[in-house]
Every structure is written in C-alpha cells, then in structure tokens.
C-alpha cells in the first residue's frame, strides 16, 4: 500500500509540474526577425505560468498555459545584433544561447531549392571553402509528411560554416550572402523546407484545394511517384504548418517542374501564396524562380506553359516577384548547377523591392502588351531600357491569325521597341515568344537580364 501511495504521489507531481516545452525552431543559434513583435509559443501544464526574459531587455514577459496546455506571447525584438540569450521559465528552465536578431526567410519548393553544394554545384568547392559566415544560420526541415497539420517538427539551427553550408540549400546561402553585402552584415536566418520531386499541391492546406473545383481537379490528376507524396497538404502539414507563426521577412520559392503538364498552375501558385499569407496573418513578399528550360518532350508545351503561368502570377498577386534564369541553365539538366546567379537575383529583387537599398534594375523584360498595326505587331515590354538581341539572325517571336497557326516572325528592334511581322500572316492576332520547352531567351535589357517567355494565345 505504501509503495502504491508513493507511485500515485510521484505521478501527481509529474502531472502538476509538467516541463515547459517549445517547438524545435526555438533553439540555440536561432535568428529572430528584427524590430518586430515575434511570437513565442509552446506547451506547459494548464494554468502554469511561463516567464520569458531576453537578454536584450530588462523586461520579463509573462503568460499562462491554457486548458489545452498551450501558451503563447509576443516579444519585442530590437535592431539587428546579438548574440543574446533567452531564458524561459515555468516549473523548469530553458536557456537559449547564441540567439541573433536579423532577417528571417523561409525557403521552400522542390529539388532546385533543396540542392546543396554537396550535389556538385558550379564552383561548389570554392564556395564551401569560403563559407565561414557565423551570422548566417540554417534551419533545415527534414522530409516528413502527415495527413493532418502538425504542431512540431524535428530540426535545429546551424551556424554557417564549410561543414554546414556544404549540405544546406545553395540558393538560400547565396541569397543570404548577397543580402549581407547591402545590409551591412545583418544576421540572416534561412528556414529551408524543401522536397525534391514534389508538386505544389502538397505544399498548401488541404481545405484550400478541397474548396476550389479547379485546384481539386488538378490535384486528382497527380500520379503517385517514388520521390515523394502527391496527395494534397502532405508536406504542408508536416513541414510548413509547424513553422506558422514564426516571424519571417518573406518567402523564396523554387518549384514547378513536378507540375509540368498542369493547365492551371498560375491558379495553384496564387492559391498557395495567399494561403500561406493567411496562415501567417502576414502579407509578406513572395519571390520565386521561373523554372529553367528543359526537354520535357517535344510533343507538348508543358514546360513553357509552367513558365508562362509563373509569369502571370506577377499580375495576380501583390508583393510577388520572379527571377528568370534561362541564361544560366542548360536545357539538358533539370538541376542546373549554377546556383549563385539564382540566389543573387533573388537577393537583388528583395533588396530593391523590400529593403529599398538597391536601385538598379532587377527584372528582365516582361511582356506588357501588343499593338496591332495592319500586318505589323508592336510588342511592348516593361523593364525594356537598353533592349537588345544576342542573336539577330534567330527569331523566337511567332505570330498567328485567328486560326492560331503560328509562324516565325521577322523582328525589328528600334529604340527599345520591337515590331514583328510575317508574310504568311495577313491579319495577326496572337503573339508568342520563346515558346518551347527548351527555348532560351535571346532578348535582354541593359542589365543583361533575359526576357520571360510568353504567349497571348490563352
């Protein structure tokens, strides 16, 4: 009886004095968003008081766990800097060490975002050797899936060193490195949650797809693969949802190859962006990479249709941006090895659009519209200053009449304006450019950035 009484007493003590628990992303070496009210949360015994004291202030933040054993509170962060420590106390004490305050970016998508220097990227050995950047930190989410939203995940923050950079996202690394050139070594936190070979549908909440007929039909057409899940929300539930609420500056996205063949990718990507912003309750910038030209097959336009869908999202979603990389990507490799210009172009976009510290043009020529003048068509572009063709003997412009039969067009370029025509099209109505899965743009602007492919057919 005595032994039984002691057992019950110990059990009741454990229940009454449960340890405070925090999600994996709150750990040593983490980066918190600067000048923000960042949310901390975790679990504790119902009604247990939780105290948080950051070393950058004398203020002590206090809250209580609710009847679901969940607690949360917001803490004001200072300007970029550190390192700091953060003490979290309930019935136990957690001390987070080497915490930096800076800029946090979520980097997601499929294999080209996941791809590290260890995969054999261009100039990778040199990059690894020089990758000692203690104020760049990686939080890499392991590949996991779930049928319902999860509240925690595995992972830890790593300080950027040759050893850690080697197996972390190369694009994210080059992005951070370029940001620090302009932001004067502000700490950069990179939360990398990516999975090669995955379609966009697995990266958004299931209800978003279920409530949209077009998205649901597209999701139902996805075929199982050996590389990862294809059912809606499987990666979102396990690899994104647990991060929701962790304050971020914005999102980098590189995905689309696994949706080649889809006819409504623009609607899918638009829905994904809006759903993430809704979950975070934050209209953060969302910058993405247009997929590179690649030979997906000569009997369809699946690859270039995804590129055009990505282009269309720019007009549908505010605070979005796209980088075109066809000039640094061979058409025979779905995993282009030259990752530095991709990361740099994303960073330049962020520096110009979000941080307002970079004042050069960061976008290639983007299709704006056409003016039809009898047999001639004038094609208008944004970001067209200094427009030039790298090969004047090869035309990637095509025009068609009402019958939508396209013919290669003759091109005249004068004063940043392009006029096209074809003797075979007497009444032009439709125009397209670089319209092929492997078509590589030969039209650039003054900052040597390529034009995106486009069509007016749809």
The pLDDT of residue 142: 97
Residue 2: pLDDT over 70: no
pLDDT in tens, 63-121: 999 999 999 999 999 999 999 999 999 999 999 999 999 999 999 999 999 999 999 99
Q: For the range 389-394, what are the long-range contacts, defined as Cβ-Cβ under 8 Å and sequence gap of 24 or more?
A: 389/413, 389/442, 389/443, 389/444, 390/442, 390/443, 390/444, 391/442, 394/442
- Model confidence at 297, pLDDT cuts 50, 70, 90, reads confident
* 3-state class (DSSP) for residue 365: coil
The CATH-assigned architecture of domain 102-353 is 3-Layer(aba) Sandwich (3.40)
Residue 3 has pLDDT above 90, yes or no: no
- How much is the average pLDDT of 120-129? 97
Report pLDDT for 234.
98
Which structure tokens are listed for 138? 């990686």
pLDDT tens figures, 314-324? 999 999 999 99
Position 17 confidence tier, pLDDT thresholds 50, 70, 90: low
Residue boundaries of the structural domains of the chain: 2-100, 102-353, 366-455
Is the pLDDT at 284 greater than 90, yes or no? yes
Alpha carbon of 82 to those of 89, 119, 417: distances in Å? 21, 33, 51
User: Would you list the DSSP string of 368-422?
Assistant: EEEEEETTEEEEEEES-TT-EES-TT---EEEE-TT--EEEPEEEEETTEEEEE-
Fold annotation for 2-100: Immunoglobulin-like (2.60.40)
Q: What is the pLDDT of residue 415?
A: 87
* pLDDT averaged over every residue in the chain: 95
Q: Cα torsion at 110, 336, 103, 233 (round to 10°)?
A: -10
Closest CA to 203 of 282, 146, 262: 146
Mean pLDDT of 317-342: 97
């Amino acid at each position: 009886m005595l032994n039984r009484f002691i057992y019950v007493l110990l059990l009741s003590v454990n229940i009454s004095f449960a340890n405070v628990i925090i999600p994996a992303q709150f750990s040593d070496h983490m980066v918190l968003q600067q000048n923000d009210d960042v949310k901390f949360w975790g679990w504790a015994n119902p009604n247990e008081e939780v105290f948080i004291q950051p070393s950058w202030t004398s203020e002590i933040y206090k809250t209580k766990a609710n009847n679901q054993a969940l607690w949360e509170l917001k803490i004001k962060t200072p300007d970029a800097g550190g390192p700091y420590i953060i003490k979290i106390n309930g019935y136990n004490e957690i001390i987070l060490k080497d915490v930096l305050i800076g800029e946090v970016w979520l980097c997601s998508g499929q294999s080209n975002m996941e791809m590290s220097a260890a995969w054999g990227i261009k100039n990778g050995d040199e990059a690894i050797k020089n990758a000692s950047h203690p104020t760049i930190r990686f939080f890499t989410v392991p590949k996991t899936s779930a049928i319902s939203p999860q509240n925690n995940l595995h992972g830890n923050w790593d300080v950027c060193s040759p050893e850690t950079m080697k197996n972390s996202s190369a694009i994210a690394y080059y992005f951070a490195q370029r940001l620090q050139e302009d932001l004067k070594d502000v700490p950069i936190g990179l939360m990398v949650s990516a999975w090669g070979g995955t379609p966009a549908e697995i990266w958004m909440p299931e209800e978003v797809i279920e409530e949209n007929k077009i998205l649901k039909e597209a999701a139902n057409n996805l075929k199982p693969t050996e590389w990862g899940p294809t059912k809606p929300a499987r990666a979102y539930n396990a690899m994104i949802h647990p991060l929701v609420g962790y304050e971020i500056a914005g999102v980098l996205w590189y995905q689309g190859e696994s949706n080649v063949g889809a006819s409504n990718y623009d609607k899918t990507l638009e829905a994904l962006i809006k759903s993430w912003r809704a979950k975070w309750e934050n209209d953060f910038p969302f910058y993405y990479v247009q997929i590179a030209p690649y030979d997906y097959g000569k009997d369809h336009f699946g690859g270039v249709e995804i590129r055009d869908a990505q282009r269309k999202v720019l007009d549908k979603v505010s605070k979005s941006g796209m980088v075109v990389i066809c000039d640094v990507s061979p058409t025979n490799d779905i995993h282009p090895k030259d990752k530095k210009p991709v990361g740099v172009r994303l960073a330049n976009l962020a520096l110009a659009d979000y941080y307002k510290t970079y004042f050069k043009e960061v976008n290639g020529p983007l299709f704006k519209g056409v003016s039809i003048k009898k047999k001639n068509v004038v094609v208008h572009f944004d970001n067209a200053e200094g427009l030039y063709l790298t090969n004047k003997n090869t035309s990637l412009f095509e025009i068609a009449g009402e019958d939508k039969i396209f013919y290669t067009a003759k091109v005249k370029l004068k004063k940043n304006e392009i006029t096209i025509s074809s003797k075979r099209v007497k009444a032009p109505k439709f125009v397209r450019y670089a319209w092929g899965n492997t078509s590589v743009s030969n039209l650039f602007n003054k900052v040597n950035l390529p034009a995106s492919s486009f069509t007016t057919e749809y």
